[in-house]
Structure 1
Amino acid sequence: MYPAMRIVYKISVFLIILACGKLHSQTVSVHQSEKLKIERITDRLFVHISYLETNDYGKVTCNGMVYINEEEAIIFDTPTTNEASKELIEWLADKKINAVVATHFHEDCLGGLGEFHSKGIPSYASNLTIEFAKKNTEILPQNGFDKAQKIKIGDETVSIIHFGQGHTLDNVVGYVPSENALFGGCLLKSLNAKKGYLGDANVLAWPMTVESIKVQYPNLKTVIPGHGKSGGAELLDYTIELFSKK
């Protein structure tokens, strides 16, 4: 092979590999209705997307995470309504849902909690989240914890941790070691997102909290924010920069 042809060949191979990598990193829609959308990130990791009507921001898309392992599943944040939650539970009909976790006390995290309870699915949240939720709803997470909770999903141990204050005083995140995946919820922002609702936030503590997550998990592969597109560790950097600005 001539040198020039060899260079062209190497460039072509590189571009193909790069393109395949980008395709692999893209989410694939596996379910869609008016109330709920589910996207696959990997064979075991999914984003569920539902919708919340707000006065200030209009119709807002809200993310949650589903992790499946050995026919068992965990869900982070309920869809926003019982109807959308019913769809998600039905989509997982052949799995055992070990837990649903509310990452903070806002409606986009526990609006559909009643449907999970009606199906006998145990719910978890920090004790602070449960305390705050009492002001807004009668349907509360059943199992509380202080700083951290571990839940077994198949042969995997999934962690739920409160790293500090940010979007709310009680916000927690979820981490799946085998996927190197973090569900950041509303504590983390998608790229180019604005600061959003700050009515219950600690803006000064926010970047320090995210820095702590970055130190704890330096090699994140997948990061799912509460709203907007998922990404990688760059979402932590973007959130830190956004809330570090004067």
Structure 2
Amino acid sequence: MKTLGVIAGLGPLAGAHFYRRLIEMSPAAMDSEHIPIILMADPTVPSRIEHLSGTGESPVPKLVEIAQKLVRAGAELIAIPSTTTSIYQEQIAQQMSVPMISLIEEVTAAIVKSQYRKIGIMGTTPTRTFRVYEASFRKAGLEAVYPDEETQLEITEIISAVKEASARHSAFDGRVHIGIETLGERAIQLAQGPWSRDVDGILLACTELPVIVPSEVSILSRPPEALFRSTDILAAAIIRDVYPKGGV
């Protein structure tokens, strides 16, 4: 079984949530059957948001450094559970000796397998500004719909609040748990705003959002499967690629 290297910490709670979902979704029946994983969360990675906004340095050198450390530690496949950071994946992959799994491509493939074709994208402002899913969706016959500017600002505030909550030791602070629930409720409300009136489904593109939106939530009066979670899609793709065909 291949060893997976994860560039996490983008942000920390999203990376931890991805690791948890990878374990929960695994077909493993005992400890020894789980995927070997090397996870590195380096808080010194320059802000992707600031760089893409033109106010900060490029995170690529640091991301390449982390990926190469993972390879030296034994990683045979690299994953980045962050949609915004996926903007840099091609630049990182060019300097790698092992394959990187593409979050954007896997999300697109998962949606293609569904009955949904017009998808509302909830993510960071750069995801909207750079139309991160546009090329992949268009090639697959899908249509990406992005929030209006006012809604996007609120989504950005929610994402920032999740990052802030993760720095306040939520496991020991009941108030933060309440805050997380409130953020999730607000995210669901925003997903059902006027901007998404004509979409078939919703993609929680930013990996902070699956942290706060409960499983089995019905949005837009559609079944839960109309809500696509980037975190779970990436985890499922890794499980597919790493485990031997037919199971553990």
Higher relative contact order (CA 8 A, sep 6+): 2
Structure of larger gyration radius: 1
More helix per residue: 1 or 2? 2
TM-score normalized with structure 1 length: 0.31
More strand per residue: 1 or 2? 1
TM-score normalized with structure 2 length: 0.31
